[in-house]
Amino acid sequence: MNKLLFTLALLVSFSSFGQTAKEYSQSGYGKSQNGDYKGAISDYNKAIELDPNDADAYYNRGTIKGRDLKDYKGAISDYNKAIKLDPNYAIAYYNRGTIKGRDLKNDYKGAISDFTKAIELDPNYAGAYYNRALVKEDLKDYKGAISDYNKAIELDPNYAIAYYNRGTIKGRDLKDYKGAISDYNKAIELDPNDADAYSNRGNAKVLIGDLTGACSDWKKAANLGDTNAAAKWVANQCN
């Protein structure tokens, strides 16, 4: 099981007085934080009506559509407009790519293009490398995915899920079981309650002949709540 990263943060703007576009945007932000997504959309609609060139308003409206209302096509339309108004809007490219690659799953090349543009605009964007790796993995470009996970980890050495996913490719697809174990070791060091990492590390250990170590990991995964694969392995192979 691979773990996804989908960051859709709203950008808040402030205004001092008057029913201005920025005040509507501020109101929309507040409503979204309180779970009133339709009210927030309405406020952003008014903000855009008053200021059609406000890229942030399109971005925030798109974020609510995609993250909260699952209106992915509407979200992409708003991100398109935000990017048209501000071609250097790295997080808009990132979020649009995430929807293309994760939610719609119908435009992997477009997703890669968006993540690549986000990286071009912000070379230290670890999340963009991570999500581009996920798409490359879906396309079975395992070496390309490993390369992107490497870069994400270089930029953020505490990126536990990047270690986990890199380990999964190494073990499941490249049969590099020792490399997989090393990555799961790091993922567990960073997140000691990751049942999936223990379960997968156990799977890799049994493939190098370490049944004792595998059983220990499967038992730990089961104790952490993995009631499926790990529990079955324990029942079938462990004392």
Do residue 35 and residue 70 come from a single domain?
yes
Q: What is the average per-residue pLDDT within 153-157?
A: 98
In tens, the pLDDT along 35-92 reads 999 999 999 999 999 999 999 999 999 999 999 999 999 999 999 999 999 999 999 9
70 Ramachandran zone, left/alpha/beta (phi>0; psi -120 to 50): left
**In-domain check, residue 12:** no
Q: Are 114 and 135 in contact (CB under 8 A)?
A: no
Do residue 180 and residue 215 come from a single domain?
yes
In tens, the pLDDT along 163-219 reads 999 999 999 999 999 999 999 999 999 999 999 999 999 999 999 999 999 999 999
Do residue 147 and residue 186 come from a single domain?
no
**In-domain check, residue 4:** no
Do residue 183 and residue 225 come from a single domain?
yes
Cα separation, 231 vs 233, in Å, equals 5
Q: What is the CATH number of the domain that holds 151?
A: 1.25.40.10
Domain that holds residue 40: 19-79
In tens, the pLDDT along 115-151 reads 999 999 999 999 999 999 999 999 999 999 999 999 9
Mapping DSSP onto H, E and C, the string for 78-111 reads HHHHHHHHCCCCHHHHHHHHHHHHHHCCCCHHHH
Do residue 147 and residue 99 come from a single domain?
yes
Do residue 164 and residue 239 come from a single domain?
yes
**In-domain check, residue 1:** no
pLDDT at 17: 45
E strand map for 65-203: none
Task: Count the domains in the chain.
Answer: 3
Residue 35, CB-side half-sphere exposure with 13 Å CA sphere:
0
